[in-house]
A and B are shown apart, each in its own frame.
Chain A
């Protein structure tokens, strides 16, 4: 085999590799153009910031879960886990009277703890990720209700808590701090996935777990680490969700995990593991948010929104499979 054929093949592969991302970005732009023509309100700055704000919580969940999905795993507990983290923020700050910083860090670490338990169940006890995190989904949903006594917890003793999400970064305009945090997390997680040992092992495990283990990588430990790490994002999302409403709501959250996974998948990350990117996940999150928002401002009944998002997922995954078959 000559070097030139290899080179040509590699070029084609690289093009194909980024195709899904290009496609996702192109569809985002198309959707954008479509809605800006369809509705005069769509392009208003307030509406655009509204889209980003709406994307923040699920977007952060999606960032964390991208790591898990790249290892070939799945985490169904992120939606309800996030609700439990919000409730725990309420417990720490309102019930126990912790200072603001301690309560926030506590809630974030609590998310890490949920991820750690998932990781142990999967790595040490060998439960399939789907089952382990399905169980955790139910456990966290229930615990949120039990701990809060099924009532919302208000952050009466720490009024500044609501600023974490809502404080405007630009005086006069409304650019919430939460969106800023989302953007910082995008950059941080892209760096971690692309440039650190955590990301490298996530890809290795996802492309071939057996070969990675036989290469002397302690796969069990790294999987626990990655689930715990993704759990931190669940904690952050929980803090922001509670901050946004200035209260910890013990219900809801169910279904958010699927929205986050949808964003990850639309962004080209493979549920089989080994492939994915943070850029893709960000684009995927934006597509879901723009679609939802656009359908609302063009006055499409809300019932139709999930129908459309569902179809987008089917098309996105089908395109991904076509690409894999060709490769």
Chain B
């Protein structure tokens, strides 16, 4: 594989493709990691970064494509095989066992033994200490992982990866939970790791960090390879424009001007313990307010805090001019706020129950006669009317919801909240897992609902979807609201710009 007699790349991916039912997650993607470099891989949500990493760590098998390590072709059969090849991956979610010690975690599955049968803790701890000394880490092999801060757990993960004598280290958003000082420690560790025989693939959205740590950047978009370039001379705006690069045609924008109806919902200074910091916005009658942001920006968390599914620490919610307190989703439903979860199967529908039971789930008390008996005939009427107005494709209202397509399941959830007579609907990724044709139907339905005077919050990770439907667009980053744009002034570029404003002071731009 040597080209022009030069040294082969440390790790090279040629034309990797991977599809899942209904999605082409990766399409002919290239990547080459040189010896001694940190290569950043960037892309929007759904660009294919995670899929690529899963191919490299042996979790998925590619549909096609070739992989080379030091010029030699490899087939990564399993995570274990990846490790044996010297490819170590640090996933966003740690794979540590909290109730074991640091040393036990690092050497899990290859514990030193005495007489084949007995574990030797002394030997184990000695080996761990040796590793830490080599890496210059101040870790106590005998502390329990559950007692460590997230940052130190991160470091344990890295130490574990390095203990396999990894040549290629792949890190997926490693700084998501770290503060500035911890990030510096991490970068120190990465720099120490990168020697002429090793390399790091670093996935992140944080442009400043990429500047600090990476040598080159590879951009992916919609599962395809876009470009690779040196980090130093490239302006951030160029990277962002490559990340979002699709063209949006004019007619996909909302035809109507933003509705200036009365304010229905007003959120002021909303904060939660975990993520959300001081979020304020207004939602008007007949309006679709889009929420854009990267994965983990806190959009879903805002929705859950508004409907009382998660506790909020501070902040007030005003509905139709009156301050309300919402302790749980039952309160929210009573006030007419419905939340349609991003994870339909887990939080939206009852898969094993039929259409009509799902449609009336939130409003069942309206169908109860004396002694708690349910009026099934009226339920049937209600369900039938929603099946026809929302054009739900189902042979009957007695069909189990699991037998419906994703789009029709979503319509069942919408019907559930309409049956409850909600004024405020919060859609979290309304078209996730829904095929392309059905998406347009859901879009039409959202527009119709807004035209009827519902106030709608729509959270979406797909920028074209946000731009197409929303009258206004709220942008979030790390739990803060960084901007609110009118649709007319919003572009993919400026949304992505505000979605990556990781600075703590972050002034809010009001549009």
Segment 168-227 of A: residues with Cβ below 8 Å from B: 191-192, 195-198, 200-201, 203-204, 207-208, 210-218
Kindly identify which residue among B350, B353, B371 contacts A196, using a CB–CB cutoff of 8 Å.
B371
**Chain B contacts of A1 at CB under 8 A?**
393, 405
Kindly identify which residue among A6, A7, A13, A211 contacts B349, using a CB–CB cutoff of 8 Å.
A211
Assuming A6-B394, A214-B307, A216-B420, is B400 touching A207 (CB within 8 A)? no
Binary contact readout B217-258 vs A (1 if CB under 8 angstroms, 0 otherwise): 000000000000000000000000000000000000000000
Smallest CB–CB gap between B429 and chain A, Å? Answer: 15
- Decide yes or no whether B445 CB sits under 8 A from chain A: no
A197 in contact with B365 (CB, 8 Å): yes
**Chain A contacts of B348 at CB under 8 A?**
211, 214
**Chain A contacts of B440 at CB under 8 A?**
none
Binary contact readout B410-442 vs A (1 if CB under 8 angstroms, 0 otherwise): 000000100010000000000000000000000
Smallest CB–CB gap between A215 and chain B, Å? Answer: 4
**Chain A contacts of B347 at CB under 8 A?**
208, 210-211, 214
Binary contact readout B335-364 vs A (1 if CB under 8 angstroms, 0 otherwise): 000110100001111111100010001101
Kindly identify which residue among A10, A204, A213 contacts B400, using a CB–CB cutoff of 8 Å.
A10
- Decide yes or no whether B155 CB sits under 8 A from chain A: no
- Decide yes or no whether B74 CB sits under 8 A from chain A: no
A204 in contact with B372 (CB, 8 Å): no
Docked CA distance A216–B350 (Å)? 14
**Chain B contacts of A7 at CB under 8 A?**
395
B329 in contact with A213 (CB, 8 Å): yes
**Chain A contacts of B364 at CB under 8 A?**
197, 200-201, 217
Smallest CB–CB gap between B165 and chain A, Å? Answer: 42
Kindly identify which residue among A192, A195, A207, A215 contacts B362, using a CB–CB cutoff of 8 Å.
A215
B329 in contact with A216 (CB, 8 Å): yes
Segment 217-249 of A: residues with Cβ below 8 Å from B: 217-218
Docked CA distance A203–B357 (Å)? 10
- In the complex, besides A10-B400, A217-B330, A274-B352, 5 extra interface pairs with C-beta distance below 8 angstroms are A200-B357, A204-B350, A204-B357, A212-B361, A217-B362
Smallest CB–CB gap between B432 and chain A, Å? Answer: 16
Which of A198, A203, A216 has most chain B Cβ within 10 Å? A216
Docked CA distance A210–B362 (Å)? 13
- Decide yes or no whether B118 CB sits under 8 A from chain A: no
Binary contact readout A76-102 vs B (1 if CB under 8 angstroms, 0 otherwise): 000000000000000000000000000
- Decide yes or no whether A151 CB sits under 8 A from chain B: no
**Chain A contacts of B307 at CB under 8 A?**
214
A211 in contact with B346 (CB, 8 Å): yes
**Chain A contacts of B376 at CB under 8 A?**
195
Docked CA distance A213–B346 (Å)? 11
Smallest CB–CB gap between B99 and chain A, Å? Answer: 18
B395 in contact with A6 (CB, 8 Å): yes
- Decide yes or no whether A9 CB sits under 8 A from chain B: yes
Can you spell out 11 A-B residue pairs with CB atoms less than 8 angstroms apart?
A6-B399, A6-B403, A192-B372, A195-B374, A196-B372, A216-B329, A216-B332, A218-B328, A218-B330, A274-B352, A275-B352
- Decide yes or no whether B176 CB sits under 8 A from chain A: no
Smallest CB–CB gap between A189 and chain B, Å? Answer: 13
**Chain A contacts of B362 at CB under 8 A?**
215-217
- Decide yes or no whether B444 CB sits under 8 A from chain A: no
Docked CA distance A214–B381 (Å)? 24
- Decide yes or no whether B135 CB sits under 8 A from chain A: no
Kindly identify which residue among A10, A201, A215 contacts B399, using a CB–CB cutoff of 8 Å.
A10
A208 in contact with B374 (CB, 8 Å): no
**Chain A contacts of B416 at CB under 8 A?**
215
Segment 1-28 of A: residues with Cβ below 8 Å from B: 1, 3, 6-7, 9-10, 13
A208 in contact with B349 (CB, 8 Å): yes
Kindly identify which residue among B341, B353, B403 contacts A214, using a CB–CB cutoff of 8 Å.
B341
Assuming A215-B416, A216-B333, is B368 touching A197 (CB within 8 A)? yes
**Chain B contacts of A203 at CB under 8 A?**
350, 353, 357
Which of B309, B398, B400 has most chain A Cβ within 10 Å? B400
Docked CA distance A274–B353 (Å)? 8
- Decide yes or no whether B373 CB sits under 8 A from chain A: yes
Smallest CB–CB gap between A187 and chain B, Å? Answer: 14
Docked CA distance A147–B328 (Å)? 41
**Chain A contacts of B353 at CB under 8 A?**
203-204, 207, 274
Binary contact readout B301-315 vs A (1 if CB under 8 angstroms, 0 otherwise): 000000101000000
A197 in contact with B372 (CB, 8 Å): yes
Docked CA distance A317–B398 (Å)? 26
Kindly identify which residue among B309, B328, B333, B352 contacts A207, using a CB–CB cutoff of 8 Å.
B352
**Chain B contacts of A210 at CB under 8 A?**
346-347
Assuming A195-B374, A208-B351, is B395 touching A3 (CB within 8 A)? yes
| Chain A: CB-nearest residue to B417 | A215
**Chain A contacts of B328 at CB under 8 A?**
213, 218
Smallest CB–CB gap between B80 and chain A, Å? Answer: 28
